[in-house]
C-alpha cells in the first residue's frame, strides 16, 4: 500500500518503491513535514519533529507560538501567523487582512488519481497510484483547503496540488496558492536549474545554496526560454550515478516560481507554484480554486535515476497522445527551406524529393493564411491564402499525398495581428489595458483567452481548417510573451486572474483539439522551446526544442531537456549548413545522429541537397527505422557532457529488457596527439554478453572498463555504436 496512516503516532507515510515521504499532525492541528528520502520500513518516525526541543509546540508553550511557527517544518506554510520564511499560501479577507491558520480536520485515502479540473496533470488508475487528501480549515474565514498527494509507487514519484474552497459567507482573495513546499535540514545542498535564452534553451546550471532566497521564475505568461519550471536540490557529491536529489517540476505553462530558502536554523524550504506576482483570485462563497500540480522525485542514485523516473512517469502517466508509443512520421518542415517565400509548386517539389528519400510527411509552416508574406500581418485570419496556394488547401494536401507523403500544418492560435481582419472586427479581443498602447512583439498582440467567446471563435476557425483537408499533424506555435494584461470581460477585482485564466484558455483549446482530432499528431512550440513544459506534454507528445538547429548547440539544449523530459518528446531536425542561426558547418552525419535523439525530421530545402547528402538522408532514415523504438521507449543514460568537459559528449539508450542499447558519441573538438578514450557504459545487464562491432564483451566489463572510442581527425565527428545481447 502506497499510503499508510499510523493512528497512534498521527503519522502519514507515503511510500513508493524506493522512497518515503512523511507527514505528522502536531498539536491536533498543524501539518508538519517529517521526512522525504530513502524508503523507511517503520512508521515510528514522529521523533523527527523535535517536539522536545524548545520552543515547543504552541499548546505546551503559548507564549512562543511565533518562534514555533518560524522553525517547525511546515507542510503547507501560510502568511500572517508567525512563520517568517516564504509562505506557500496567502489569502486576503474582504476586510483586507492577510492571514490564515489552516487546522487539520480529516483525511481520505483513495485508489487512483482524481482529475484536476481544467488542468493538465498526471493520471493513473487504482493499479498505478494512490491519493491522499488532507482536509484543513480556517475557522475565521470559513475556508477549506485540501492538500492532495498522489503516490506513483513504480515511478518513485509523488505529485502534489491544492484545492481551496470558500465555505464562508463573504468573498476572499487568494494572493498566493503555491502547489508544494518541502522543508528539510540543509545538507550543503546545491541547486540545479535550467536557464537560457531564445535559441539557447534549458542549459543546466548548478550553484551552492546560500542563506536567504534563490529562485527561478517566469512572469512572461508562459514558462519561457530563460528559466524553467524545474528545480532540484542535490547533495554536493551528486553526479549522474551517486548523490541525493530532490527534484520538482511544475505541470503548468504560465507564470511560475521555484524557490529555495536557507534560514537561520540551517533548514531549507523548497517551494513551487504559480508566481504570486500578478496573481489574485477572487473566491465568492462556494467557489473553488485548484492549483496546478507539482511532480516531486527523490533519487539516492544521482541525477541519472531522477531522469529515468521523470521519463517513466511522463511516458506512463502524463502524455495522453495515441502517438506516444508509436514511431512518428519522419517529417520535413519548410520553415528554414523557404521562410515565408513559398507557393504550392515549391512545397510539392520538396514533397516529391523528400518522399523519394523515405521522408513521410510535409509540414507547411508559417505564411499560408490571410495575406501573410512576412511576420507583420494576418494572425487570426485562419483562412488559406489562395494567391499563394493556388487551388486551395485541400488540393495541395491531395497533391502532396500523391507523392506518398502525409500533410501537416503550422498555426499560432493564441495571437492576433493588428493588421488582420480579425482585429478590425474585434479590437477588444486583444489583451490590453484601457488608455495604454498595447505592447507589440513580432508585430503581434495576444488574444484575450480568458474569454470563452474568444476561445470558441478562434478554435472554430482552426477546426474548420483542420476539417477542410486531410491534415495529420499540427505545429501549435506561440511567438510572443504576455504584456498589457487587461481584459474587457472582467471587473477590476478579477483582473489579477488574467494570467492564469489565459493559460486555462490555452488548455481548453488544446483539450478540444485533441478530443476532436485524435488522429492529429500535435507538436507544441513557442519561438523554439519557450513552452517546453509538462503542462504542454499532457496535450502533445512532442514539443519543438529550440529554433537553434545547429547540431553542436543542440548538445547542451537536448542534454538539459532530457534531464527531465523523455527523449521521444524533443522536436529535433536536421538542417542545412552553414547553420541559419549561428553559421557553423558540421558534418551531415553528425546532424542526423544528434537529431535521432529526438523526434527526428528535416528542416531544409531538400531539392538543393547534393547527391552525396541525399544518400546520407537515406542512411539516416534507415537508422531512424532501426533505432526509433529503442530510443523512444528505452532508458536514457548520460555518459559524458560537452557542456561540462568542453570536448566531447556521449549518451546511451538501453532497452527496458537490457537486450539492446545504442551509444552516441560526439567528438566536438579534435585535439592534437589524442589517444583513444574508454567510455564506461551504463544500464546493461552485468552478466549478459553483448556484441559490439562483431566482438563479444561481458556487460560488467563494458560498464566497469568501458569501450574504446578512437580519436578522429576533425571537429564535430560522431558515431552511433549499437550494442546487442548475444
Ligand atoms: C517559431 C518557431 O519556433 C519556428 O520553427 C517557426 O515555426 C516560426 N516560429 C514561424 O513563425
Q: Is the CB of 367 under 6 A from ligand 1?
A: no
pLDDT classification of 264: cutoffs 50, 70, 90: very high
CATH of the domain at 128: 2.70.98.60
Which residues are CB-contacts of 441 (< 8 A; sequence separation ≥ 6)?
479, 480, 481, 483
Q: Are residues 89 and 226 in the same domain?
A: yes
Nearest to 519 by CA among 314, 312, 326: 326
Q: What is the mean pLDDT of residues 664-686?
A: 96
Q: Are residues 159 and 284 in the same domain?
A: yes
Residue 62: the pLDDT is 86
Residue 43: the pLDDT is 85
Q: Are residues 63 and 152 in the same domain?
A: yes
* C-alpha–C-alpha distance, residues 384 and 370, integer Å: 6
Determine if the peptide bond prior to 578 is cis (ω within 30°). Answer: yes
pLDDT classification of 61: cutoffs 50, 70, 90: confident
**H or E element at residue 621:** helix 611-633
Residue 114 has what DSSP assignment?
-
* C-alpha–C-alpha distance, residues 485 and 473, integer Å: 32
Q: Are residues 601 and 669 in the same domain?
A: no
- Measured between alpha carbons, how far is residue 309 from residues 3, 683, 726 in Å? 19, 14, 28
Instruction: State residue 19 phi and psi, 5-degree precision.
Output: -135, 160
Q: Are residues 686 and 628 in the same domain?
A: no
Residue 28: the pLDDT is 85
**Is residue 55 pLDDT above 90, yes or no?**
no
Q: Tell me the three cell numbers of residue 275.
A: 508566481
Q: What percent of the chain has pLDDT over 70?
A: 100
Tell me which residue has its CA closest to atom 11 in ligand 1.
Answer: 366
Return the percent helix, strand and coil in the chain, to nearest 5. Answer: 25, 30, 45
Q: Are 116 and 134 in contact (CB under 8 A)?
A: no
Last residue in a domain, options 590, 610, 633:
633
**H or E element at residue 336:** helix 335-338
Q: Tell me the three cell numbers of residue 215.
A: 529562485
pLDDT classification of 354: cutoffs 50, 70, 90: very high
Q: What is the mean pLDDT of residues 348-374?
A: 98
Q: Is 293 inside any structural domain?
A: yes
Q: Is 197 inside any structural domain?
A: yes
Residue 307: the pLDDT is 98
Q: Is the CB of 523 under 6 A from ligand 1?
A: no
pLDDT tens digits along 609-661: 999 999 999 999 999 999 999 999 999 999 999 999 999 999 999 999 999 99
Nearest to 446 by CA among 534, 505, 532, 372: 505
Residue 414 has what DSSP assignment?
T
DSSP string of 423-483?
A: HHH-GGGB---TTSPPPPBTTBEEB-TTSHHHHHHHHHHHHHHHHTTT--EEEE-------
Q: Work out the number of other CB atoms within 10 angstroms of the CB of residue 345.
A: 11
Last residue in a domain, options 633, 652, 675:
633
End-to-end CA, the chain:
39
Q: Is 616 inside any structural domain?
A: yes
**H or E element at residue 539:** helix 534-539
Last residue in a domain, options 576, 609, 633:
633
* C-alpha–C-alpha distance, residues 715 and 696, integer Å: 30
Mutate to test the pocket of ligand 1, among 526, 536, 544, 604 (most ligand atoms within 8 A of CB): 544
Q: Are residues 214 and 307 in the same domain?
A: yes
* C-alpha–C-alpha distance, residues 192 and 271, integer Å: 14
Q: Is 357 inside any structural domain?
A: yes
Q: What is the mean pLDDT of residues 684-701?
A: 98
Instruction: State residue 34 phi and psi, 5-degree precision.
Output: -100, -45
User: 3-state secondary structure string, 295-323?
Assistant: EEEEECEHHHHHHHHHHHHHHHHCCCCCC
pLDDT tens digits along 129-172: 999 999 999 999 999 999 999 999 999 999 999 999 999 999 99
Residue 391: the pLDDT is 96
Counted residue by residue, the chain has a size of 726
Instruction: Locate the ligand 1 atom nearest the alpha carbon of residue 526 and give its number.
Output: 3
Q: Is 217 inside any structural domain?
A: yes
Instruction: Please count the structural domains in the chain.
Output: 3
Residue 543: the pLDDT is 98
pLDDT tens digits along 197-219: 999 999 999 999 999 999 999 99
* C-alpha–C-alpha distance, residues 25 and 23, integer Å: 7
Q: Is 435 inside any structural domain?
A: no
Determine if the peptide bond prior to 55 is cis (ω within 30°). Answer: yes
Q: Is 218 helix (H, G, I), strand (E, B) or coil?
A: strand
Q: Is 120 inside any structural domain?
A: yes
pLDDT tens digits along 471-489: 999 999 999 999 999 999 9
The reply to whether the predicted model has a pTM over 0.95 is yes
Give 528 Cα–ligand 1 centroid separation in angstroms: 7
Q: Is the CB of 249 under 6 A from ligand 1?
A: no
Average per-residue pLDDT for the chain: 97
Spacing of C-alpha 335 from chain mean position: 24
Residue 54: the pLDDT is 86
**Is residue 93 pLDDT above 80, yes or no?**
yes
Q: Is 538 helix (H, G, I), strand (E, B) or coil?
A: helix
Residue 52: the pLDDT is 87
Q: Is the CB of 479 under 6 A from ligand 1?
A: yes
Q: Are 596 and 602 in contact (CB under 8 A)?
A: no
Q: Are residues 598 and 716 in the same domain?
A: no
Which residues have a catalytic role annotated? 477, 547
Residue 226: the pLDDT is 98
Q: Are residues 386 and 290 in the same domain?
A: no
Q: Are residues 601 and 671 in the same domain?
A: no
Q: Are 347 and 313 in contact (CB under 8 A)?
A: no
Q: Are residues 343 and 207 in the same domain?
A: no
Q: Are residues 609 and 651 in the same domain?
A: no
Q: Are residues 260 and 297 in the same domain?
A: yes
Nearest to 110 by CA among 128, 127, 126, 123: 126
**Range(s) of the domain holding residue 388:** 331-413+461-479+521-633
CATH of the domain at 407: 3.20.20.70
Strand segments (E) across 601-657:
601-603, 635-640, 648-654
Nearest to 477 by CA among 519, 430, 540: 540
* C-alpha–C-alpha distance, residues 109 and 93, integer Å: 31
Tell me which residue has its CA closest to atom 1 in ligand 1.
Answer: 527
**Is residue 374 pLDDT above 90, yes or no?**
yes
Give 544 Cα–ligand 1 centroid separation in angstroms: 9
Q: Is 450 inside any structural domain?
A: no
Give 477 Cα–ligand 1 centroid separation in angstroms: 7
Nearest to 523 by CA among 545, 544, 549, 546: 544
Instruction: State residue 61 phi and psi, 5-degree precision.
Output: -140, 85
Mutate to test the pocket of ligand 1, among 199, 224, 410, 548 (most ligand atoms within 8 A of CB): 410
* C-alpha–C-alpha distance, residues 665 and 673, integer Å: 19
* C-alpha–C-alpha distance, residues 370 and 378, integer Å: 5
Amino acid at each position: 500500500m502506497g499510503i499508510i496512516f499510523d493512528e497512534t503516532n498521527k503519522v502519514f507515510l507515503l511510500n513508493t518503491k524506493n522512497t518515503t515521504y512523511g507527514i505528522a499532525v502536531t498539536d491536533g492541528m498543524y501539518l508538519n513535514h517529517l521526512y522525504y528520502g530513502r524508503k523507511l520500513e517503520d512508521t515510528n518516525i514522529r521523533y523527527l519533529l523535535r517536539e522536545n526541543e524548545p520552543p515547543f509546540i504552541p499548546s505546551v508553550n503559548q507564549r512562543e507560538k511565533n518562534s514555533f511557527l518560524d522553525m517547525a517544518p511546515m507542510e503547507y506554510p501560510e502568511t500572517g501567523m508567525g512563520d517568517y520564511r516564504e509562505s506557500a499560501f496567502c489569502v486576503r479577507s474582504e476586510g483586507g487582512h492577510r492571514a490564515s491558520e489552516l487546522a487539520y480536520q480529516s483525511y481520505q485515502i483513495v485508489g487512483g488519481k482524481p482529475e484536476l479540473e481544467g488542468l493538465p496533470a498526471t493520471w493513473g488508475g487504482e493499479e498505478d497510484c494512490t491519493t491522499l487528501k488532507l482536509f484543513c480549515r480556517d475557522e475565521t474565514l470559513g475556508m477549506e483547503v485540501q492538500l492532495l498527494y498522489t503516490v506513483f509507487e513504480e515511478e518513485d514519484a509523488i505529485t502534489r496540488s491544492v484545492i481551496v474552497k470558500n465555505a464562508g459567507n463573504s468573498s476572499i482573495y487568494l494572493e498566493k496558492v503555491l502547489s508544494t513546499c518541502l522543508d528539510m535540514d540543509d545538507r550543503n545542498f546545491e541547486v540545479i536549474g535550467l536557464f537560457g535564452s531564445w535559441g539557447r534553451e534549458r542549459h543546466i546550471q548548478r550553484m551552492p545554496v546560500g542563506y536567504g532566497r534563490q529562485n527561478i521564475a517566469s512572469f512572461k505568461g508562459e514558462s519561457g526560454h530563460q528559466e524553467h519550471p524545474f528545480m532540484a536540490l542535490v547533495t554536493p557529491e551528486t553526479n549522474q550515478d551517486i548523490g541525493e536529489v530532490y527534484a520538482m517540476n511544475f505541470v503548468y505553462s504560465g507564470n511560475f516560481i521555484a524557490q529555495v530558502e536557507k534560514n537561520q536554523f540551517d533548514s531549507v524550504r523548497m517551494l513551487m507554484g504559480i508566481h504570486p506576482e500578478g496573481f489574485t483570485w477572487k473566491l465568492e462563497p462556494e467557489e473553488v480554486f485548484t492549483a496546478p500540480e507539482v511532480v516531486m522525485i527523490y533519487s539516492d542514485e544521482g541525477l541519472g535515476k531522477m531522469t529515468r523516473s521523470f521519463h517513466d512517469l511522463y511516458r506512463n502517466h502524463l502524455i495522453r497522445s495515441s502517438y506516444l508509443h508509436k514511431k512518428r512520421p519522419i517529417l520535413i518542415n519548410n520553415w528554414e527551406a523557404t521562410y515565408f517565400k513559398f507557393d504550392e509548386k515549391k512545397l510539392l517539389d520538396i514533397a516529391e524529393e523528400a518522399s523519394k528519400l523515405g521522408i513521410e510527411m510535409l509540414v507547411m509552416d508559417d505564411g499560408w493564411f490571410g495575406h501573410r508574406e512576412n511576420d507583420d500581418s494576418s494572425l487570426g485570419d485562419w483562412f488559406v491564402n489562395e494567391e499563394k496556394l493556388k487551388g486551395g488547401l485541400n488540393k495541395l494536401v491531395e497533391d502532396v499525398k500523391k507523392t506518398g507523403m502525409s500533410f501537416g500544418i503550422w498555426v499560432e492560435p493564441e495571437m492576433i495581428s493588428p493588421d488582420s481582419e480579425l482585429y478590425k472586427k474585434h479590437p477588444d479581443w486583444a489583451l490590453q489595458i484601457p488608455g495604454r498602447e498595447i505592447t507589440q512583439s513580432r508585430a503581434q498582440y495576444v488574444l484575450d483567452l480568458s474569454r470563452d467567446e474568444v476561445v470558441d471563435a478562434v478554435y472554430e476557425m482552426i477546426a474548420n481548417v483542420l476539417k477542410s483537408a486531410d491534415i495529420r499533424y499540427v505545429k501549435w506555435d506561440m511567438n510572443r510573451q504576455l504584456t498589457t494584461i487587461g481584459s474587457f470581460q472582467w471587473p477590476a477585482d478579477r483582473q489579477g486572474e488574467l494570467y492564469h485564466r489565459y493559460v486555462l484558455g490555452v488548455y481548453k483549446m488544446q483539450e478540444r483539439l485533441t478530443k476532436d482530432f485524435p488522429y492529429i499528431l500535435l507538436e507544441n512550440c513557442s519561438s523554439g522551446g519557450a513552452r517546453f513544459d509538462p503542462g504542454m506534454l499532457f496535450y502533445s507528445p512532442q514539443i519543438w526544442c529550440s529554433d537553434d538547429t545547429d547540431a553542436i548547440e543542440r548538445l547542451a539544449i537536448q542534454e538539459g531537456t532530457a534531464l527531465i523530459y523523455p527523449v521521444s518528446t524533443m522536436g529535433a531536425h536536421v538542417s542545412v549548413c552553414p547553420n541559419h542561426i549561428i553559421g557553423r558547418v558540421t558534418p551531415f552525419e553528425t546532424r542526423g545522429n544528434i537529431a535521432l535523439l529526438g523526434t527526428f525530421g528535416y528542416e531544409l530545402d531538400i531539392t538543393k541537397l547534393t547527391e552525396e547528402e541525399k544518400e546520407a538522408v537515406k542512411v539516416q532514415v534507415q537508422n531512424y527505422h532501426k533505432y526509433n523504438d529503442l530510443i523512444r521507449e528505452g532508458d536514457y543514460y548520460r555518459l559524458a557532457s560537452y557542456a561540462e568537459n568542453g570536448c566531447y559528449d556521449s549518451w546511451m539508450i538501453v532497452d527496458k529488457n537490457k537486450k539492446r542499447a545504442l551509444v552516441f558519441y560526439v567528438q566536438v573538438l579534435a585535439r592534437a596527439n589524442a589517444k583513444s578514450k574508454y567510455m564506461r557504459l551504463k544500464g546493461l545487464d552485468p552478466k549478459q554478453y553483448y556484441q559490439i562491432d562483431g566482438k563479444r564483451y561481458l556487460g560488467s566489463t563494458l560498464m566497469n572498463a568501458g569501450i574504446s572510442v578512437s580519436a578522429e581527425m576533425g571537429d564535430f565527428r560522431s558515431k552511433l555504436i549499437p550494442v546487442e545481447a548475444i
